[in-house]
A and B are shown apart, each in its own frame.
Chain A
Amino acid sequence: MKVLVVEDDPRIADYVCDGLRQQGHVVDHAGNGRDALFLALEPGHDVLVVDRMLPGMDGLAVVRALRASGSGVPILLLTALGGIDDRVEGLNAGADDYLVKPFAFSELSARLAALARRPAISARQHETTLKVGTLEMDLLRRAVTREGRPIELQPREFRLLEVLMRHAGEVVTRTMLLEQVWEFHFDPRTNIVETHVSRLRGKIDREFGAPMLHTVRGAGYSLRG
């Protein structure tokens, strides 16, 4: 995919750009808000990474200007550590996701992949059934089957599986799950995600041949058909 990275700190910019290039993405870089707008107004980027603090025109202003110009490109906002209001401000300005600096590269990469696929996911938002391999989810009846056999899930396990199925084939990180399944915008020390994943795995994988729910070491989880 093609990514535009808007970051003024050269070291962080290099870290992000090099990392993304190594993963095979095409990366453009802008060091300030004006260059960012100039580059972003040309269509072609699948996703934007915008730093909250930029010299001159700040990151929020860039996001607002892009949204005002009618651009719907997915935007991930990078915010500073401890800026507890940044998330709400960023989402209000029109950003789609946020990530607190410093971050693990796997987190950034997973979130960008999810964002780039977001238009495709939203297009299928109205669908009432999800299907990954032999796993099927009926959102209306709130029923799950694998190979046609019904699986009983607790409400949170159902929500967890729904998120994983919507992002099937991608890596979903622990923090993404905390946010989307539990609305936790902080990191609890307790292994909430791990215990839920382990229980879900027991229900969808244990009695079936090939496991679908994989742990991606140092990154998160991935559901594959």
Chain B
Amino acid sequence: MARSRLLSSAAFRLAAVYAVIFAVSAASLLGAVYVLVTRYDQARHRQIVHTQSVNLLREADEDGLGEILEHLSAQDADDQDRPDSFLLIGPDGRVMAGDERLADTPLGLSDITLIQSDGAPLPMMAVRANVQGGVLVVASDTADLLTLQREMQWSFAWAGGLTAILAILGGAATSILFRSRIGMVTRTTRRIVGGELSERVSVSPNDDEFDRLAMDVNAMLDRIESLMEGLRQVSNDIAHDLRTPLTRLRQRLETVRNGPQAIALYQSALDAAVEDTDEILATFAALLRIAQIEAGARKAGFQRVDLSRIVANVAEAFTPSAEDQGRRLTARIEPDRSVSGDPELLTQLISNLIENALSHTPEGTPIEVALTSLGDRIDVVVSDRGPGVPEAARDKVFRRFYRGDASRTSQGNGLGLALVAAIADLHGMSIALEDAQPGLTVRLSLRRAPEATL
């Protein structure tokens, strides 16, 4: 089982493949060296016997056989032209000088083997040529070539063996390294599967592929965790904040059932019940909407939208209602400022901000909506002259169901600004709450859409 696990390891297979490739390349390199050295030495021997025989033949043509016999018989070791071994046969077929074992050498150049007195073979390269009715054989000892080849074979075997061992060790080391790094990721993910959602894969300072993988896995885990947290939050919110209106609805229905039986009472109670239900459904829809926007699903539908037109349209829509409340709603909007986004959501975003100002300030309080741009940055500002939001509460207003002390009694489901935050986040906008002295300024900042895209 251990063997099959080793074989099934990708790291081991990779290491094995590398070892084989390494061994094959080393073997072919050594093989090439072997062939080249052998060829070179053979060529050298061929050159020697060829030169010696040509010189001797020229000598014989000029001075006769007697002269080369004398030349060959001289025991001058320094003579370059003196062959290792030779045979001279006269025109009468008699051996005039030299080694008689060379008599069987075929005509021309050939490899032959002589048997030495101790029985050991002696490889030679020989040339046989006819000369003045006789025969001349010149031979060169090639035993050095054999020795060289044998030595090469030995050293190559050693080098090959060492290479193989190194390749296997390197492969094993790589394999172990891979397995330990991947093992860390695996152990972490198993713990996460086991429920420890806050676990993270450790990242070394090397910034290698494994670290980048680990960082990607961690980023993915962060995202999953925040989505899970969002889901948990939504469930809690639903549980807490839908309980109140559901309880109220139930009490209302119960009161009517136990009260006097009058059609008029029933009708007004039913109308009220339908209204309560609609309110619950609206809260429910808003929660689902926030959750979907936070999940980022909507981003696929982004297009180039004229934000100026949207802001102006929404401000205009609310103007009569504001006037009815004795307020002045002024809009200061730079035209033709486009962004990449979802027109429906951006409309709701601006609408929620204006409604927020309308419902949290006393009647008569003026509201200003402005769209300004500086470079490629666009600011949308909704400010009022109402009581404002205390510094400490500014982070909390974007939470679901958060309601400031002052707004406990006013209508609304406490989801308006949470939806604003979700939509702004989806569009990469930053939201800042500022003190309008007095009042509240909500500032949205985002980048303009590039001209040519979308």
Are A188 and B324 interface neighbours, CB within 8 A? no
Contact partner of A192 (CB less than 8 A), chosen from B281, B291, B318, B411, is B318
Tell me if A22 counts as interface (CB < 8 A to partner B).
no
CB distance from B201 to the nearest CB of A (A): 34
CB–CB B320/A196 < 8 A: yes
Q: Could you say which of A52-60, A116-124, A177-185 contacts chain B? A: A177-185
Q: Is there contact, CB below 8 Å, between B355 and A190?
A: yes
Among B282, B291, B313, B321, contact of A190 (Cβ-Cβ < 8 Å): B321
A191 located at the interface, meaning its Cβ lies under 8 Å from any Cβ of chain B in the complex: yes
Q: Are A183 and B324 in contact (CB under 8 A)?
A: no
What's the nearest-Cβ distance from chain A to residue B411, in Å? 7
Q: Are A191 and B292 in contact (CB under 8 A)?
A: no
What residue in chain B is nearest A181 (Cβ atoms)? Answer: B317
The interface residues of chain A lying within 8 Å CB-to-CB of B316 are: 155-156
By a CB distance below 8 angstroms, the chain B residues around A195 are 320-321, 324
A11 within 8 A of B: no
Chain A nearest Cβ from B54, distance in angstroms:
95
The residue from B289, B297, B298, B347 contacting A183, defined by CB atoms under 8 A apart: B347
> Cβ of B93 < 8 Å from any Cβ of A?
no
Q: How many residues of A contact B (CB 8 A)?
A: 24
Whole-angstrom distance between the Cβ of B300 and the nearest chain A Cβ: 8
Kindly list chain B residues whose C-beta atoms are within 8 Å of the C-beta of A140.
none
A81 at the interface (CB under 8 A from B): yes
A131 in contact (CB, < 8 A):
no
Give 1 or 0 for each of B307-334: 1 = CB within 8 Å of chain A CB. 0000001001110110010000000000
| B residues less than 8 Å from A2 (CB atoms) | none
Checking B284, B289, B313, B355 against A188 with a beta-carbon cut-off of 8 angstroms, the contacting residue is B355
Residues of A within 8 A of B359 (CB): 189
Report B406 CB to chain A, min CB distance, Å.
Answer: 17
Q: How far apart sit A95 and B411, CA to CA, in the bound complex (Å)?
A: 35
Please name all residues of chain B whose beta carbon is closer than 8 Å to the beta carbon of A100 when the two chains form the complex.
285
On chain B, the residues within 8 Å of A186 by CB distance are 344, 347-348, 351
Contact between A199 and B320, CB atoms less than 8 A apart: yes
Residues of A within 8 A of B298 (CB): 84-85
Residue of B nearest to A80 (CB): B288
Are A184's CB and B347's CB within 8 A? yes
A189 touches B285 (CB 8 A): no
170-225 of chain A: CB within 8 A of chain B: 182-192, 195-196, 199
Residues of B within 8 A of A184 (CB): 317, 347-348, 351
By beta carbon, the residue of chain A nearest B278 is A104
In the complex, A85→B351 CA distance in Å?
19
- Among B284, B297, B344, B411, the residue within 8 A (CB) of A81 is B284
A186→B313 CA distance, assembly (Å): 15
Q: Which residues of B contact A88 (CB under 8 A)?
A: 301
Q: Which residue of A has the minimal Cβ distance to B343?
A: A183
Is B412 part of the binding interface, using a Cβ–Cβ cutoff of 8 Å? yes
Rounded to whole Å, the gap between the CB of B292 and the closest CB of chain A is 5
- A185/B344 in contact, CB under 8 A: yes
Q: Does A10 contact B (CB under 8 A)?
A: no
Residues from chain A with Cβ under 8 Å of B293 in the complex:
84
Specify which chain B residues have a CB less than 8 angstroms from the CB of A190 in the assembled complex: 318, 321, 355, 358
Inter-chain contact A156/B317, CB cutoff 8 Å? yes
In the complex, are the beta carbons of B288 and A81 less than 8 A apart?
yes
Query: Please, which residues of chain A bring their CB within 8 A of the CB of B411?
Result: 189
A182 engages B313 (CB within 8 Å) = yes
Residues A102 and B355 in contact in the complex (CB < 8 Å), given A82-B289, A156-B316, A192-B321: no
CB of A148 to closest CB in B, whole Å:
27
Bound CA–CA A182/B412 (angstroms): 22
Contact across chains for B297 and A85 when beta carbons are under 8 A apart: yes
Chain B residues 266 to 292 lying within 8 A of chain A, measured CB to CB, are: 281-282, 284-285, 287-289, 291-292
Task: Give the distance in Å from the alpha carbon of A102 to the alpha carbon of B317 in the complex.
Answer: 27
Closest to A156 in B: B316
* Set B287, B292, B317, B324: member contacting A182, Cβ < 8 A: B317
Are B285's CB and A81's CB within 8 A?
yes
Q: Considering the chains assembled together, what is the distance between the CA atoms of A25 and B200 in angstroms?
A: 62
Q: Which of A81, A82, A85, A187 has the most CB of B within 10 A?
A: A82
Docked complex Cα distance between A102 and B280 (Å): 12
Which of B284, B320, B343 meets A82, CB within 8 Å?
Answer: B284
Chain B residues with CB under 8 Å of A196's CB are 320
Which residues of the other chain, A, contact B348 by a CB distance below 8 angstroms? Answer: 184-186
Q: How far is the CA of A81 from the CA of B289 in the complex (A)?
A: 9
Contact in complex: A187, B282 (CB < 8 Å): yes
B344 closest partner in A (C-beta): A185
Distance of B384 from chain A, by nearest CB (Å): 14
A187 to B284, CA, bound (A): 13
User: Are A191's CB and B301's CB within 8 A?
Assistant: no
The docked-state distance in angstroms from the alpha carbon of A100 to that of B281 is 11
Contact status A189-B412, CB under 8 Å: yes
User: Does the CB pair A81–B281 fall under 8 Å?
Assistant: yes
Residues of A within 8 A of B291 (CB): 82
CA distance A88 to B316 in the complex (A): 25
**Residues on the B chain within 8 Å of A82, using CB:** 284-285, 287-289, 291-292
Cβ of A183: which chain B residues have Cβ within 8 Å of it? 313, 343-344, 347
A199 to B285, CA, bound (A): 31
Q: Which of A63-121 contact B (CB under 8 A)?
A: 81-85, 88, 100, 102
Closest CB in chain B relative to A155 CB, distance in Å: 8
| A186, B289: Cα distance in complex, Å | 11
Cα distance A155–B65 in the bound complex, in angstroms? 132
Looking across the interface, which residue of chain A has its beta carbon closest to that of B301?
Answer: A88
In contact, B281 and A189 (Cβ under 8 angstroms): no
Shortest Cβ distance from A136 into chain B, in angstroms? 24
Closest 8 pairs between A and B when the two form their complex, measured CB to CB: A82-B288, A195-B320, A195-B321, A182-B317, A190-B321, A185-B344, A186-B348, A81-B285
Can you give 12 contacting A-B residue pairs, CB < 8 Å?
A81-B281, A83-B292, A84-B297, A85-B297, A88-B301, A156-B317, A182-B313, A189-B355, A189-B411, A192-B320, A195-B324, A196-B320
Q: A100-B285, A186-B344, A199-B320 are in contact. List 7 more A-B contacts (CB 8 A).
A: A85-B292, A182-B313, A183-B343, A183-B344, A184-B351, A189-B411, A190-B318
